[in-house]
Chains A and B, each alone.
Chain A
Amino acid sequence: MKTPLRSIVVAALFVAVLTLLYQVAAVPAASPIRSTFAPGSYVPGEVLVKFKPTHSASSRASAVAILGHAVVADLKLPGWVQVKIDADQTMDQALAAYQGNPEVEFVQPNYVYRAAALPTDAQFGQLWAFRNNGQTITTGTYSPNFGTPGADINTEKAWDHLTDCSSVVVAVIDSGVNYNQQDLAGNMWDGGQIYPNHGTDFVSNDNDPMDLHGHGTHVAGIVGAAGNNATGTTGVCWRASIMAVRVLDAAGSGTTATIVQGINFAVTNGAKVINLSVEAGFFDPVLSQAIATAQNGDVVVVAAAGNSGLDTDAIGGANATYPCNFTQPNLVCVAALDQNYALATFSNTGATSVDVGAPGTNILSTAAGTEATITDTFHNNNNGVLNWTTSGGGWAYRKLTLSTPAGPVTVDALVNPGTFPTGPYADSANNRVYKTFDLSGKNVATLSFFASVDVLPGDSLNVNYRSGGGDPFAGGGVQLIGGSGNTGLSFVPFSFDLSPCINASCSVGFQLLSDASVTDLGAGIVFFSIKTLQLNNTSYMIANGTSMATPMVTGLAAMLRAYNPQFTYADTVSAIKNAGRSVPALAGKTTTGRAVDAMSSLAYINPPAGLTATVQ
């Protein structure tokens, strides 16, 4: 009983709406036609026609036959018949044929109704950005990890109208994509024989954009992980065409040159939406030019606001973050919201430079593989004794208290001299310290640490590794960085690709070399870690960042361009910005004060332009 009742109610509402519309529009009652025409929303080749009551069954059949159509069934509602249309006619043509018939009161497609269904993806329940019912994200790493029902991008309703964005090529310009991941493999761009790996790589300068970091694969899954396939997660688009463009290395770093080449590649090879989840704190005219080139190519560029928690419009420009502080009209800049649609604590904002918000915390998506992190505190069991191998003395373990925005924090540190930061380090020193790590079975390894350095010219702090273990400053060692410098007592981050050292014994070490002249404060190392990635095709992971909010909007841009094939970049950007949902947390902190809303954007209509009049 449910389906017929629902159909009747829908039909009644439909007629009521039509009446209202046509009172406003002042169109004769015989004219109305309304349909959704979304692919799959109606039975192809059929329409339902309501003739005026004066028509008999035979005259209805005759009127239909004149058009080359045939009555399939009498619907047992006054005047209504189900009609099979000419096989060569489109639905639009068939409806128009009856619209012009004064004996017809109403005509519509034979709509298809389905039980309202969510995609079958196994972990859909954790995708709060698409359906926020207040659920707790069980593996969430951002607090809070529970949400407010309805605080989502409203894709469920949009999916009733469109799930397939594969007609629009989306370039993920990032660390690459694991194009073999089970939820991505079927949704990758077809690069033909020239780009058989679905994209290209400007880091290694080859055509294999395999993700050796993980960031790009996570981003790609938010845009277009295969939906409704009973596997893993889904993206904003259930079907997609994702172009993988690798511009960031295994440590997640890229350059102007790689990123600009990536943008130009995407534009040249047919991408209509670019996801750029990268940020930098300096004006880069070459990158600006590349985004302008994308504009000339009618390409939308969606960029991350940045994760520094800054107002990027602050007076003086000290907080300006690029590409978001560029002004090209094809650029959409995205801030991150949490599960309650509060601004994520890390998200940058900017009343003139950040446009919209989107979910960016506890976001579950595809992973390039299994990630693991080896941390080291330089000592065992809080015994205060350095447990790395030393040569030449100088290095020691000690606890340091750092000043942070959240207050003082005490951390484990590797220091030289042992009194660091009060110095001085020794003259004529060759102080080495190293440790061996097991990296067997990994595909990627990235070394990270923070360092405070005050080493005079003529002296040097060196960081080396050695595959096979042992002293990395002996034969066979490879230098990652070395030299003098002064960080002004601040600890600054360093990150290096350690992948060439992947085996059962990889030693990593620090060396302080000094000449016989005066010395300074020395060096301190904290937060030492080696992040590893073991590629596989079945992993998923949680991540936080404006990098995760950005592909929500990228996916929406692809959806809009797929639904409206004639859309320009300007139409797309307008529908994203103007149809969002007002969110108090974004008021005065973004250009729109809105979070994106997929359904509203899909229904958004730009105001007509270019109105002229000619008086005769």
Chain B
Amino acid sequence: MTYMRHVGAALLLAAGVAACGGGGEGNPPPKKTTHSVTLVWQANRESGVNRAGGGYQVSISGQPTIVVPYTAGPAAPTSTMVSLITGTYTVTVRAFAVLDPQGGNAGNFSANSQALIVNVP
């Protein structure tokens, strides 16, 4: 999935460069560049989030959803890094666990975190 996202970003970047090359007289449109963006949030304290089958899901407007699963240790990771091109993005995080409100294993998500607006120059 990470690979696919990079390919997508590269194609967009190429399109931006092509548009620049086709410009006429006057100020050229702003150059679009790619930046690494590190997203960090506070750890949830639900046991189900911090064990196998739990974790977080990061949503970035216009981007594929990123899953940050629990892998090992006392808690699920609470950060992720993503490459984004110039633009404004809305980011939210939600936590998930296996246990569902009916007592089964169908999975359960939290509500989204407060949205964060990220401006990538």
Which listed segment binds A: B8-16, B18-26, B33-41? B33-41
Q: Is B51's CB under 8 angstroms from A92's CB?
A: yes
Q: Which of A600, A605, A615 has the most CB of B within 10 A?
A: A605
Among A27-35, A199-207, A262-270, A526-534, the one that faces the other chain is A27-35
Question: A27-B69, A605-B46 are known contacts; what are 10 more A-B pairs with Cβ within 8 Å?
Answer: A17-B105, A20-B107, A25-B65, A37-B51, A37-B98, A606-B110, A607-B112, A607-B113, A610-B42, A611-B93
> A606 and B41: CB pair below 8 A?
no
The reply to whether B94 and A612 contact each other, CB–CB distance below 8 Å, is: no
Choice from A96, A611, A616 contacting B114 with Cβ under 8 Å: A611
Q: 5 smallest A-B Cβ distances: which pairs?
A: A157-B103, A610-B42, A605-B110, A566-B45, A34-B53
Chain B contacts of A612 at CB under 8 A? 39-41, 116
**Contact A602–B99 (Cβ < 8 Å):** yes
Interface pair A611/B91, CB less than 8 Å apart: yes
Q: Evaluate whether A605 and B116 lie within 8 angstroms (CB atoms) in the complex, with A158-B103, A616-B38 already known.
A: no
Contacts A158-B103, A602-B99, A605-B96; is A613 near B52 (CB within 8 Å)? no
A14-B105, A25-B65, A563-B47 in contact; A608/B52 too (CB < 8 A)? no
Please state if B45 and A608 are interface contacts (CB–CB under 8 Å): no
Residues of A near B57 (CB, < 8 A) are 24-25
Q: How far is the CB of A52 from chain B (nearest CB, A)?
A: 20
B46 surroundings in chain A (CB, below 8 A): 564, 567, 571, 604-606
Q: How far is the CA of A616 from the CA of B82 in the complex (A)?
A: 11
Give the shortest distance, in Å, between A50 (CB) and chain B (any CB).
Answer: 15
Q: Does B47 lie within 8 Å of A608, measured CB to CB?
A: no
A-B contacts, 13 of them at CB < 8 A, read A28-B1, A37-B48, A37-B52, A92-B52, A95-B52, A96-B52, A603-B100, A608-B41, A608-B93, A609-B113, A611-B114, A612-B40, A614-B38
| Chain A residues within 8 Å of B42, by CB | 608-610
With A603-B99, A608-B94: A615-B120 Cβ-Cβ less than 8 Å:
yes
Q: How far is it, in angstroms, between the C-alpha of A564 and the C-alpha of B94 when the chains are bound?
A: 18
Is residue A374 within 8 Å, beta carbon to beta carbon, of the partner chain? no
Q: Is A610 a contact partner of B41 (Cβ separation < 8 A)?
A: yes
- Give the Cβ gap from B117 to chain A, nearest Cβ, in Å: 9
A161 to B98, CA, bound (A): 12
Q: Is A93 an interface residue (CB 8 A)?
A: yes
Given known contacts A17-B107, A157-B103, A610-B42, A603 and B97 CB-to-CB distance under 8 angstroms: yes
User: Who on chain A is nearest to B109 by CB?
Assistant: A605
In the assembled complex, which residues on chain A have CB atoms less than 8 Å from the CB atom of B53?
Answer: 33-35, 37
Q: Which residue of A lies closest to B118 (CB)?
A: A613
What residues of A have a CB within 8 angstroms of the CB of B69 in the complex? 27, 31, 33
What chain B residues lie within 8 Å of A92 (beta carbons)?
51-52, 70, 72
CA–CA, A376 and B71, complex, Å: 71
Find A611's partner among B40, B49, B52 (CB 8 Å cutoff): B40
Contacts of B48 in A (CB 8 A): 37, 603, 605
Q: Give the CA-CA distance A604 to B106 in the complex, in Å.
A: 13
Q: Which residues of B contact A563 (CB under 8 A)?
A: 47
**Which chain B residues lie closer than 8 Å to A464 at the CB level?**
none
Other-chain contact of B67, A17, A27, A93, A567 (Cβ < 8 Å): A27
Q: Kindly state whether residue A579 has any CB partner on chain B within 8 Å.
A: yes
Shortest C-beta distance, B85 to chain A (Å), equals 12
Task: Mark A1-35 against chain B: 1 for CB-CB distance below 8 A, else 0.
Answer: 00000000000011001001100111110010111
**A571 with B116, Cβ < 8 A, contacts A34-B53, A616-B37 known:** no
| Chain B residue, CB-CB nearest to A25 | B67
Q: Does A99 contact B (CB under 8 A)?
A: yes
Given contacts A566-B45, A605-B49, contact A615 B121 (CB under 8 A): yes
Are B45 and A564 closer than 8 Å at their CB atoms? yes
Complex Cα distance A155/B72, Å? 31
| A568 part of interface (Cβ distance < 8 Å) | yes
In angstroms, Cα B106 to Cα A14, docked, is 7
Within 8 A of B (CB), among A134-170: 157-158, 160-161
CB distance from B19 to the nearest CB of A (A): 23
Which parts of A565-616 form the interface with B (CB within 8 Å)?
565-568, 571, 579, 597, 599-600, 602-616
Distance in angstroms between the alpha carbons of A408 and B52 in the assembled complex: 66
Does A36 reach chain B (CB closer than 8 Å)?
yes
Residues of the A chain whose Cβ atoms lie less than 8 Å from the Cβ of B64: 26
Instruction: Evaluate contact between B37 and A614: CB separation under 8 angstroms.
Output: yes
Whether B27 sits at the interface, judged by CB under 8 Å, is no
Chain B residues, CB < 8 A from A24 = 57, 65
Interchain nearest-CB distance for B23 vs A (Å): 26
Q: Which residue of B lies closest to A572 (CB)?
A: B45
Q: Which of B40, B45, B120 is packed against the most chain A CB atoms within 10 Å?
A: B45
Is the CB–CB distance between A599 and B103 below 8 Å? yes
B108 and A603: CB pair below 8 A?
Answer: yes
CB contacts (< 8 Å) of B119 on chain A: these are 615
| In the complex with contacts A607-B94, A608-B95, A614-B40 CB distance below 8 A | yes
Q: Chain A residues near B92: list those with CB within 8 A.
A: 611
The minimal Cβ–Cβ distance linking A156 to chain B, given in whole angstroms, is 8
- CB <8 Å contact, B37 and A605: no
Cβ of B101 under 8 Å from chain A? yes
- B41:A611 contact, CB within 8 angstroms: yes
Q: Which chain B residues border A13 with CB–CB below 8 Å?
A: 104, 106
Which residues on the A side are within 8 Å of B106 (C-beta)? 13, 17
Contact B111–A579 (Cβ < 8 Å): no
Q: How far is the CA of A220 from the CA of B72 in the complex (A)?
A: 39
Asked whether A613 lies within 8 Å of B113 as measured between CB atoms, the reply is no
**Are B95 and A605 in contact, with the CB atoms below 8 A?**
yes
Asked whether, in the complex, the Cβ of B35 is within 8 Å of the Cβ of A615, the reply is yes
Cα separation A14 to B53 with both chains bound (whole Å) = 12
Contact A157 B39 (CB under 8 A): no
How far does the alpha carbon of A600 sit from the alpha carbon of B70 in the complex, in Å? 22
Could you tell me the distance between the alpha carbons of A36 and B48 in the complex, rounded to whole angstroms? Answer: 8
Q: How far is the CA of A510 from the CA of B105 in the complex (A)?
A: 67
| In the bound complex, CA of A567 to CA of B50 (Å) | 12
Nearest CB of chain A from residue B6's CB, rounded to whole Å? 14
A13 to B1, CA, bound (A): 25
A163 to B75, CA, bound (A): 24
Q: How far is the CA of A129 from the CA of B109 in the complex (A)?
A: 28
The residue of chain B having its C-beta at the shortest distance from the C-beta of A107 within the complex is B52
A80-97 residues at the B interface, CB under 8 angstroms:
91-93, 95-96
A161-B109 CB under 8 A given contacts A606-B44, A611-B93, A612-B39: no
